Structures are given as structure tokens and as C-alpha cells.
């Protein structure tokens, strides 16, 4: 009896600890400042209708978003790449990561691609899209 109880307890402990926190519709997120690029991501999240509430105060957020952008401009040619990371503030666990790149649409385009990936992740869809616009 004691062995059965210990086995059941161990099984449920492993299941509980192994679960990845999920992002739910209506959760609050704070986008960390990144040289003004966070405004592109906030606008893209609104445009793509990502079902999250962006808050201006980190203390009121369930999740934090880090949005990093790298832009290369050389002799009239440019390339932009971006990464997005969503972190659960309660556990410090990374819940979602995504990346995007473009040669024509700049920061706005990469922000929209990252927002779309986040929305698809929340809906449970796994998308593998090409880095250029639809």
C-alpha cells in the first residue's frame, strides 16, 4: 500500500513539475524597453490581434516580453532580424521564443512576424512561414 501511494505521489509530482506555463487570452504582458523598438511590437500585437493586454507597468504583468532587433544597413541595402522571448514572471520560465527577418520591411515587418508567431502559438498552431510578406 505504501509503495502504491509513493508511486502515485511521484507520478503526479513529475506531471505537475513537467508542465510548461501557458499563455492565456487576456493575460497581461509588459514589453521591456529596447531603444524604442518595443513600440513597434506593441503596435504589431494590436494589428495582429494578439489576445494579450499590454501594460505599461511591469508590476501589473503576468509575463514579460523581450524584443531584440538587429538592423544592418550597407550601401543602400538593409536587413533586419528580430527575436521575441516571453517569460513567466512568477517562475522566470521561458514560455515562448520566436524570430523573424526581412530585407524590405524593417523593424515594423519583423515585429508583425513575431506578433503573428506569438498569436499562432497561443492558438496552438505551429507555423513555418517564409520570412517575406504574404
C-alpha–C-alpha distance, residues 1 and 84, integer Å: 49
Where does 24-122 sit in CATH, by number?
Answer: 3.30.160.670
- pLDDT, tens digit, 9 for 90 and up, residues 32-74: 998 888 999 999 999 999 999 999 999 999 999 999 999 888 8
Beta strands across the sheet bearing 63-74: 53-54, 28-31, 63-74, 77-88, 94-102
C-alpha–C-alpha distance, residues 56 and 47, integer Å: 18
pLDDT at residue 72, as a whole number: 86
Cell numbers 520591411 correspond to 105
Amino acid at each position: 500500500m505504501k509503495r502504491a501511494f509513493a508511486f502515485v505521489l511521484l507520478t503526479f509530482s513529475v506531471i505537475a513539475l513537467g508542465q510548461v506555463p501557458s499563455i492565456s487570452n487576456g493575460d497581461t504582458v509588459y514589453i521591456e524597453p529596447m531603444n524604442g523598438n518595443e513600440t513597434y511590437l506593441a503596435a504589431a500585437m494590436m494589428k495582429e490581434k494578439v489576445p494579450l493586454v499590454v501594460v505599461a507597468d511591469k508590476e501589473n504583468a503576468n509575463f514579460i516580453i523581450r524584443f531584440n532587433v538587429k538592423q544592418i544597413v550597407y550601401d543602400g541595402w538593409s536587413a533586419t532580424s528580430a527575436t521575441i522571448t516571453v517569460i513567466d514572471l512568477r517562475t522566470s520560465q521561458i514560455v515562448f521564443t520566436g524570430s523573424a527577418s526581412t530585407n524590405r520591411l524593417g523593424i515594423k515587418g519583423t515585429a508583425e512576424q513575431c506578433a503573428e508567431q506569438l498569436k499562432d502559438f497561443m492558438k496552438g498552431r505551429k507555423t513555418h512561414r517564409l520570412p517575406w510578406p504574404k
